[in-house]
Amino acid sequence: MNKKSLYWLLPSRSIVFILFFLTVAGLTHKHVEDISNIWSFSVSVINIFFILLLIYVSGKEGMSYKKLINYEKGKAKISQILIVSAIIIIIGMSGMFLAGILCFGSTMPSCSLLIISPIPGFLAIINVFLLPVSTTLAEDGLYLGCGVNAIKNKKASILIPAFFYALQHCFIPVLFDTRYVIYRFLSYLPCTIFICLYYEKKEDPLPVMVGHALLDVATVLEILAASLIPGFYESMCSMI
């Protein structure tokens, strides 16, 4: 991977998310906080852009997307996929709870409910199928394929992609609140370090991609429930 590509690719998702939410807020004459509930479907749309970008970039480097992420059919065993997926889910949930305690004194601060804010029902249904797959292909393709694989120094190849992998979540959605940004970053950093560490050692993306997708499935199912079941979101809010 060309190092010049690396310099702009790794921070690119964070930049795109910031520009997207600011643009939408400006066009609708609203504050970014008022459009936070659109984050999930917006991410799916942006994911498609990044998947196409990764296909283009890998093609420029003379390889396929599969080659970019070192995917080999049949390499990962089912037991390995299950174990790694379970670890990712545990680290992911633990990271969010711990970050909530450190930043807000609660495992589930009120801002965490932004992530499951209701959206129009038909969008919520579409996103159940679209978001988990597209997010995994876009994020893992970027931070593993263009990050871990492109950096020669072993420690840097884990820490730099993991940093930008966690950083992008600070702007999904965009809120101009320092504590919220720190909370989002700390929530995801343990998981992104594990994902990059595992991938650097095994050079097999499938186990971490499956675990990542399962975390996103849990999120979109909550959004679906909040969007279609009357009172669900309100009852979640009342628990905090």
Mean predicted confidence (pLDDT) in 212-238: 91
**Residue 83 structure tokens:** 């174990």
Q: Which pLDDT does position 104 carry in this prediction?
A: 94
Report d(CA 2, CA 107) in Å as an integer.
41
- Percentage of the residues of the chain whose pLDDT score is greater than 70: 97
Peptide bond into 190 cis (omega under 30): no
Peptide bond into 173 cis (omega under 30): yes
Nearest to 168 by CA among 61, 21, 35: 21
Measured at the CA of 211, the angle between CA 207 and CA 217, to 5 degrees, comes to 145
Residue 4 has pLDDT above 90, yes or no: no
For residue range 38-57, what is the model confidence (pLDDT) as tens digits? Answer: 899 899 999 999 999 999 99
Report d(CA 131, CA 127) in Å as an integer.
5
**Residue 145 structure tokens:** 């394929």
Mean predicted confidence (pLDDT) in 102-111: 91
Mean predicted confidence (pLDDT) in 83-89: 97
The reply to whether the predicted model has a pTM over 0.85 is: yes
Distance of CA 102 to the CA centre of its chain: 21
Nearest to 146 by CA among 164, 130, 132: 164
Q: How much is the mean pLDDT over the chain?
A: 92
Confidence of residue 8 (pLDDT cuts 50, 70, 90): confident
